[in-house]
A and B are shown apart, each in its own frame.
Chain A
Amino acid sequence: MLFNSLDFTIFLPIVFLIYWVLLKKKVRAQNVLLMLASYVFYGWWEWKFLSLIIFSTIVDYFVGVGLGKSENERHRKLLLWTSICINLGFLGVFKYYNFFIENFTNAFSFFGQPINANSLNIILPVGISFYTFQTLSYSIDCYKRKLKPTTDFVAFSAYVSFFPQLVAGPIERATNLLPQFSKERNFSYAQSVDGLRQILWGLFMKVVIADNCAELANKIFNNSDSYSGSTLVLGALFFTFQIYGDFAGYSNIAIGTARLFGFDLMKNFAFPYFSRDIAEFWRRWHISLSTWFRDYLYIPLGGSKGGMGMKIRNTFIIFIVSGFWHGANWTFIIWGALNAVYFLPLLLTNNNRNHLEIVASSSKLPSLKEGMQMLLTFGLTVIAWVFFRAENLSHAMHYLSEIFSASLFTMPSTSILRNGTLTILLVLLFLLLEWNGRKDAYAIEKLGLSWNKGFRLSLYYAFILAIFWFGGKEQQFIYFQF
């Protein structure tokens, strides 16, 4: 079920009303409802996918129970590795099997020893990369005794399958989300209204910004041979805003929806395109994933402790694995490696923790230096996004070589400019709103709150009309493919 769909528009109020009206203050019943509603939400795509998530839930629940009861270190390690192997095993088979087979056979053919290995026709279950990481974090935190394992199967199932964040994050930590399932939730008018505002903003980001940028980005990337370097730059920019609008939009909808039910999810995006360096970018982009990798991979590998060699190794591992998490294609791996190359100089010179506050936190505009830093960082991420979007490495290299050619200094395609004028104006408006709200949880968190009621209502109607009116051709959320 998509957030930007009629089905969800009907689904959400029904679940909401049952939750707060019929099951008011009945924590266990509310958890059962959330669990069942989440399975309906997830099974709407393909009910067969439910078997995987339910199996994963059962395995990790019993792993947790086992970890809670056992004091034998060997036994505890065995339980942890069971969880890791099963979760990553599913991920490996469904997401990476064909990639490895293809590269395996290509490598053998390269050396003159062709082998016959068949790829499988495997459908990637929606959200598998997200919920497997979420359940893994539970198992690992239980093993490390950061979290007391739960014996409430319903609460645990609801935590794993929680529909607002099930298919595209934020990847919640059990230490944050699971306890919320055990507490009584009281309806808060202010929290619900804020949740609705965040949903509205998320829909605007997704439907108005991302979907409109997607149409143009697709046109340019799919016909990149026919366009000049200057047009290809536009294509890269459109994709840059598409992926942000899409992914951060989804996160906003997820967080806002969770708030309607009295849950607080972690912030997943913190205005990353206003970053002054790559390190700051990675503290603001897909925060739940980057912190997951930091806590469960980077730090166990030694983190930033140790010599330069270890730092370089760990940095590359993290970024390449992060890239690989996004998809079974060399383009994602190169995207990750490129970000590692960007990040490394900052790490090695201890400049990776320079900008912890948002830019221009005590002024209206950035300084010239901050402006230049933001532009440079933005430019580097745009280049990296080309790999993320391209069909394959050859396409990405050709795309970039055309950008950095003489055709960069020609006029962009008039038909793209003509068709893209409205989108460009919408993106500029979007940037203005983002800049205005950069110190808040989301761009319009405080917008209009001090206005009189009539103007505030007009603002909401304007957003809704913009969503319906300027909504681009329907596009699936990009991150569903991960």
Chain B
Amino acid sequence: MHQFITKIFLFFVPFILLTVNYMTYKDSGGDLSRLGKVSFDDEYRAQFEEEYSLPDKTTALSSIDLSQAQRFDILTIGDSFSQYGTTGYQNYLANRFDLSIVNVDNGYKRENPIQMLFQIANGDILDHLKVDYIVLQSVERDFGLRAEQSDPQKAIHSKDFNRTFEAPKSTGGQSAGFGLFHNIINYTLFNVLYNFDSRAFFSNAYKVNTADSTLFSTQENEMLFYYKDVKHIVYNTEAAAKTANKMLNLLHKKLNAKGVELIVLPSPDKYNVYAEYIEDDNLPENDFLKTLEQLDKDYIYVNTEHMLTKNIERGVQDVYYADDSHWSPVGQKLVAKHLYREITNTKDGYLSNN
């Protein structure tokens, strides 16, 4: 018995040591910090706390009765970049420019806002829900695939809306803490392997050196970005940009027939925006948004890539969170202001509530 207990204890010593090491990990809450197991000081996120207390003046689509007639200036639909609540670009638009905004929060986890917008355009939701503009936001890395995989004929009607976007049934889904062991091993493993490979071979976060230590308020010569920013470049070809543009023009036509202007708001990949500062020459270039920007389009296109890179060149820090793949409140505000400028500079240049 004693021999058994002793041997089992000795067997688990490496895991005990890994667990002790894991206690030094500081999870700041950023997705890249979590994926790459890179520690960030608690103080980093604290600087944005004031922004989190902004009043939320947007409306969630899930809270609306779609059978009742309602009017908003703007409807926004997108992926995780559009789900930032009080610190999202929508809320800055609503607070700063006094616009009425409704955000499609239902089913964003379905991950194809382009498809969802086609379905809305083909259905009856916009018959009661009147908006002047629809902002379609999509992250760059998935833009081409989403456009390609969208069926422009599918429709969704108001009576089915919430039910259709419920989480699908699965045979499981209960978290039981086993992921903790995964994290314990990854923490030590990645922090060793980042010394040999910018992706630590297996991590979902790249950690690269940068030429400029002032890009983020952490004042480090390092940057994190999501691995799919690089992996999905192969899908975002010139042909994919043309297909996406064609689909967006078609979408605009459908929405225009209902009196709605389409605004496309791409969220450039963090890797792409900071590419010129990265010291690794082995990473590929990404020209998807540059190609898309140059194509003939009927919809309003917000050139966020150009706008954000210019602001970074001017020395604006933390446009993206240092520990996350998304815009920080700094970036969200820049996007909101730029979006408002695009709206008011359109050829019709109006918002019906103003």
Q: Are A and B subunits of one complex? A: yes
Q: Which residues of A contact B (CB under 8 A)?
A: 2, 4-7, 17, 20-21, 24, 187, 189, 192-193, 196, 207, 211, 214, 217-218, 222-223, 242, 389, 391, 457, 460-461, 464-465, 468-469, 471, 473-478, 481
Q: A7-B176, A464-B15 are in contact. List 20 more A-B contacts (CB 8 A).
A: A5-B176, A6-B176, A7-B177, A20-B1, A196-B8, A214-B172, A217-B171, A218-B168, A218-B172, A223-B168, A457-B11, A471-B178, A471-B179, A474-B172, A474-B175, A475-B173, A476-B171, A476-B174, A477-B172, A478-B172
Which chain A positions have C-beta within 8 A of B180? 6
Which chain B positions have C-beta within 8 A of A477? 172
Question: Shortest beta-carbon distance, A474 to chain B, in Å?
Answer: 5
Establish whether residues B182 and A474, one from each chain, have CB atoms under 8 Å apart when the complex forms: no
Which chain A positions have C-beta within 8 A of B165? none
**Chief secondary structure at chain A's binding surface:** helix
User: Contacts A21-B1, A192-B4, A469-B185; is A4 near B178 (CB within 8 Å)?
Assistant: yes
Q: Report the bound CA distance from A192 to B6 in whole Å.
A: 13
Establish whether residues A469 and B182, one from each chain, have CB atoms under 8 Å apart when the complex forms: yes
Which chain B positions have C-beta within 8 A of A460? 11
B1, B169, B175: residue with the most chain A Cβ atoms closer than 10 Å = B1
Establish whether residues A193 and B182, one from each chain, have CB atoms under 8 Å apart when the complex forms: no
Establish whether residues B178 and A222, one from each chain, have CB atoms under 8 Å apart when the complex forms: no
**A–B pairs, 28, beta carbons within 8 Å:** A4-B176, A4-B178, A5-B176, A7-B177, A21-B1, A24-B1, A187-B1, A187-B4, A189-B4, A193-B4, A196-B8, A211-B172, A214-B170, A217-B171, A460-B11, A461-B14, A464-B15, A465-B185, A468-B181, A468-B182, A468-B185, A471-B179, A474-B178, A475-B172, A475-B173, A475-B174, A477-B172, A478-B171
Whether B24 sits at the interface, judged by CB under 8 Å, is no
Q: Shortest 8 CB-CB distances between A and B: which pairs?
A: A475-B172, A6-B177, A5-B176, A222-B168, A218-B170, A476-B172, A2-B176, A476-B174
Which chain B positions have C-beta within 8 A of A242? 171
* Tally of B interface residues using CB under 8 Å: 25
Establish whether residues A222 and B1, one from each chain, have CB atoms under 8 Å apart when the complex forms: no
Which chain B positions have C-beta within 8 A of A391? 169
Q: Report the bound CA distance from A70 to B192 in whole Å.
A: 72
Question: Shortest beta-carbon distance, B58 to chain A, in Å?
Answer: 30
Which chain B positions have C-beta within 8 A of A469? 182, 185
Whether B153 sits at the interface, judged by CB under 8 Å, is no
Whether B3 sits at the interface, judged by CB under 8 Å, is yes
Question: Shortest beta-carbon distance, A239 to chain B, in Å?
Answer: 8
Establish whether residues B171 and A475, one from each chain, have CB atoms under 8 Å apart when the complex forms: yes
Q: Which of A218, A465, A474 contacts B174 (CB 8 A)?
A: A474
Which chain A positions have C-beta within 8 A of B174? 2, 474-476
Q: Which of A214, A464, A465, A474 contacts B179 (CB 8 A)?
A: A474
Question: Shortest beta-carbon distance, A226 to chain B, in Å?
Answer: 9
Q: Which of B3, B11, B171, B176 contacts A389 (CB 8 A)?
A: B171
B11, B168, B172, B184: residue with the most chain A Cβ atoms closer than 10 Å = B172
